[in-house]
Amino acid sequence: MINVGIVGGTGYTGVELLRLLAGHPQVNLRVITSRSEAGIKVAELFPNLRGRIDLRFTEPSPEALTACDLVFFATPNGTAMKMVPSLVSTGVKIIDLAADFRLRDPEEWQQWYGEPHACVDILAKAVYGLPEVNRAAIQTAQVVANPGCYPTAVLLGFLPLIAQGLVDNQHLIADAKSGVSGAGRKVELHTLLCEASENFKAYGVRGHRHWPEIRQGLSQAAGETVGLTFIPHLVPMIRGIHATLYAPLRDTQVDIQRMYEDHYRDEPFVDVMPPGSLPETRSVRGANQCRIAVHIPPTGKTVVVLSVIDNLVKGAAGQALQNMNIMFGLQESLGLEAIGMIP
């Protein structure tokens, strides 16, 4: 059994992590921390966990966390990097679901997150936890940076094209939409029901924190710095990301459909759909799945990739469990067999 701790178990990502861990046959939940809810039963705050988790939220305790084999951080950006060094020194493995270890360049981190990185030495050793790219490195990692939700959908959609050198890497466009849960559980005006419902809008047009993360992953695959336009949008649904990706083709004779099918043939959580398909976010709701469809519009000069995920599962907690399974030598799909919920 893997003794697991969670720092920050009250946000949407945290409760999704709890839901998935509660059904994992090789996990023993030892500690779930929350400064604001310390002393309250987890099942009192989240009644869907009644009968599955009997723990209470506690204040973060170094002693309790160092007794774990693995600690998940489902905390705001900038929190994990201040706590991780002491845990790493005792041999505890870490999966951070925030952004503290995603960007390789500490100066770029400071530019986008507004503070110096607190543990540059650990940042240099952390592994970016996109299993479809870094599976071998994740197996031996002590610190894994769980990818962001938008980056997961966009990277999985674009990477086969980039890896094969089939597109102009300087003119990539990612037009992505997210459900409101992507904004987190905190109370903000723009996520209130009366503000978000019956509305559709772009945001972060002048710069979004996931842009450098996406560009970093694409540039590593391309072997050069790519040109990327990334525009996120908020749509009036709770869960889901739909990324529509555009890239100019260098070679219009390649069978793009077959290339995608071959690229992801052995990936348990990437589904390349048949030609002409239009993947829907509801088909992956609650599932650790990315569904992809490839289209060539009539001009034949641009490839359009449609990529959908559940932002809280494959875009966060489910991918974190996938990484845990890899780190501990378990079957990668263990605890992640749930089928998407329709309706």
- CATH number of the domain residue 217 falls in: 3.30.360.10
Q: Where are the alpha helices (DSSP H) in 114-247?
A: 120-125, 131-139, 149-163, 193-196, 210-222
Please confirm, yes or no, whether 149 is among the known catalytic residues: yes
Banded pLDDT at 294 (limits 50, 70, 90): very high
Instruction: Report the number of distinct structural domains present in the chain.
Output: 2
pTM assigned to the model = 0.97
Domain containing residue 288: 150-310
Residue 328 lies in a domain: no
Tell me what pLDDT residue 12 has: 95
Banded pLDDT at 32 (limits 50, 70, 90): very high
Looking at the structure, do residues 169 and 82 belong to the same domain, yes or no? no
Looking at the structure, do residues 178 and 304 belong to the same domain, yes or no? yes
Tokens 């009539």 belong to 298
Catalytic pick among 119, 149, 194, 290: 149
Residue 38 lies in a domain: yes
Residue 268 lies in a domain: yes
Residue 193 lies in a domain: yes
Mean pLDDT across the stretch 40-51? 96
Helices and strands in the chain, H and E counts: 12, 14
Looking at the structure, do residues 237 and 100 belong to the same domain, yes or no? no
Do the beta carbons of residue 235 and residue 191 sit within 8 Å?
no
Looking at the structure, do residues 162 and 252 belong to the same domain, yes or no? yes
Residue 340 lies in a domain: no
Looking at the structure, do residues 18 and 85 belong to the same domain, yes or no? yes
Looking at the structure, do residues 31 and 104 belong to the same domain, yes or no? yes
Looking at the structure, do residues 119 and 201 belong to the same domain, yes or no? no
Looking at the structure, do residues 118 and 154 belong to the same domain, yes or no? no
